[in-house]
Amino acid sequence: MVDKLISDHNGDAHAVILTLLSEREFLLNELQYASSAMGHGFARGWKPKLTSMS
């Protein structure tokens, strides 16, 4: 999997890391949106802890 990511970015590990961080931020935003849309009782009061790197 790692080799494929590096290959997809023409051997640029820096670009791979930037892509992964960008995708992580997108998924955090999606999780935040989903958690705000679900009812409090849906997960028995559990809410995910969201931490952003920015």
Show me where the domains of the chain are located: 1-37
Q: Categorize the per-residue pLDDT at 43 as very low, low, confident or very high, splitting at 50, 70 and 90.
A: low
For residue 10, the model assigns a pLDDT of 97
pLDDT digits (tens, 9 = 90+) for 8-36: 999 999 999 999 999 999 999 998 888 77
Q: In Å, how far are 6, 32, 42, 52 from 24, measured between CA atoms?
A: 17, 12, 25, 9
Mean pLDDT of 44-51: 70
28, two tokens: 């955090």
Contact 9/15 with Cβ under 8 angstroms? Answer: yes
Contact 36/43 with Cβ under 8 angstroms? Answer: no
